[in-house]
Amino acid sequence: MENKIIILPGTPDDDNREYLPESIIGTDLVVNENGNNSQPYPKRLEEHVGFMGNEFKNTWYEYVPERYDPSKKTPLVISNHGGLMTGWGQCIYTSWTHVADRDNVIVIFPSASAKRLWTLEGGVIEDRVNAQMPPEMVQNLADIDENCDVRFVKALIAYACGKYNIDAERIFMQGMSNGSMFTAQFEKYFGNMLAGGANSGGSTPNLRQIYEEDMTVKNVGGPTPVWHSVPETNGCPPWCEFDDNTCYKYARLYWLTVNECDNIPEISIVGEHNMAFYKGKKADYVYMDIKNRDHGQTLDEACVVWDYFFSGLRRKSDGAVVDEGPRIARKGDAFGIAVADGAAKAWFGNAVVDMGMPAIKWQKLKYHGLNGGQKVKGEYLTVPLSFIAECFQAACSYSDDTLSAALRLADGRTLQFARGSIGCVIENDLRSMYCEALHRNGELYISLEWFARFVMNLTATRFEDVLYVTDHHAELSDTFAALIRDLLTGDYELRQLDWPKL
């Protein structure tokens, strides 16, 4: 039986929301801002200092759950902090200690060997970025064989396996921001040491570090289960040579290629968590975009990664990845529809389907009293009535001239529409829609948002020109809308990038 997760009350330091005040250590002070929310300093968190794999006197923090049983094999998580942070800071800004207490997991939070920045691979672009940074932000750069932090973390894993009864098949790594880039680097070279990795805070490596000019992937560690989290308003690091959506897309396609994943995922949007679950021949990949979040990691992110992903993964001694089934199944929403302006294909039943004609974004305009001018009072995505009938198992019948139509819903209700009218007759009651019915190529188009919300009492969430409809609370985010658009337009495979000249 699981232990219960219990969150403890903290004392908000609302007058001083400094990111990592030393006064937090050993207290119940908590910090909250849109990107990082902390918990009180855990009493069981132990600081350790010593030489570990390199020439530095390193610091790391160990969290061992109270019910740890030395006679039983126990999973290990290495969780890497963001730039200018510490191991203890990574601990309080995550929920890994809650995972540890509930599921009997040992978690180690290392502090980077030098300057509170993890050592990464370097190149021309990184050198140029370093030259523009203040001294405290100059990144540590080194080839992988000379990387002091890689040596530190590998030695730390060996140390933990010697000190505790660690399950060698269940060693995981997670990192945030600068720690995410270090984790991605570790996955690239030493993924075969891990049962799974998770990259939080949206940080993506310079694409030149993971692709050759001809788009061949650079990978040594082999297939690795990877989870990639992106806060919606995160942006990309200064060395990214392409726009944000391109960088995230090709960081995603990198692991789809290495893990030999299907290009079409299952999609689930639960609240602010926008998740795409990709199934791979060698290993799975998960992409999550978090609505309305700035750079950082959510307090629940560790629990979400564990529950949907790490909890079921094993790396066997022969290198094969086995998924025994996570705590929460990675499945797409039981009911979900997605459409994009101009796309003739839609998302329905966790598959790309053909609507026959493209969705149309239509503006509701205000003219009266504007002396010939106009104001846009609303924009709505309209779709063919026949597609709505298909999705909702309704019978659709048109007049001979196709200018009016009727729907009979599965629950027996009847609806009637007509070209150019904003009215809809529902069971002999007239009700206004969001915008008038359009007529295109023998089909009536109506607002999918209106139909989902008003007629079917569903959630309809939109970002720019992409709309998602489901039967529970959901909030569509920026880069996830771009992912859906790519699925509906067929632009979801690797293609040659127009590399900027160095």
In this model, does residue 17 exceed pLDDT 70?
no
**Pairwise CA distance, residues 159 & 382, whole Å:** 59
55 burial (CB, 10 Å; 0-12 / 13-18 / 19+) is exposed
Report residue 16's pLDDT band, with 50, 70 and 90 as the boundaries. low
Q: What is the mean pLDDT of residues 52-79?
A: 96
Q: How many residues does the chain have?
A: 502
**Pairwise CA distance, residues 266 & 479, whole Å:** 16
**Pairwise CA distance, residues 450 & 432, whole Å:** 10
Average pLDDT over the chain reads 95
Instruction: Check: CB of residue 377 under 8 Å from CB of residue 366.
Output: yes
**Which tens digit of pLDDT belongs to each residue from 155-206?**
999 999 999 999 999 999 999 999 999 999 999 999 999 999 999 998 788 9
**Which tens digit of pLDDT belongs to each residue from 267-300?**
999 999 999 999 999 999 999 999 999 999 999 9
Report residue 15's pLDDT band, with 50, 70 and 90 as the boundaries. confident
Report residue 18's pLDDT band, with 50, 70 and 90 as the boundaries. low
**Pairwise CA distance, residues 130 & 6, whole Å:** 43
**Is residue 289 helix, strand or coil?**
strand
**The two three-digit tokens of residue 446, written as one number:** 């109506």
**Pairwise CA distance, residues 187 & 199, whole Å:** 10
Specify the pTM.
Answer: 0.96
**Pairwise CA distance, residues 74 & 435, whole Å:** 58
In this model, does residue 432 exceed pLDDT 90?
yes
Q: What is the mean pLDDT of residues 19-34?
A: 85
Report residue 109's pLDDT band, with 50, 70 and 90 as the boundaries. very high
**Pairwise CA distance, residues 405 & 384, whole Å:** 11
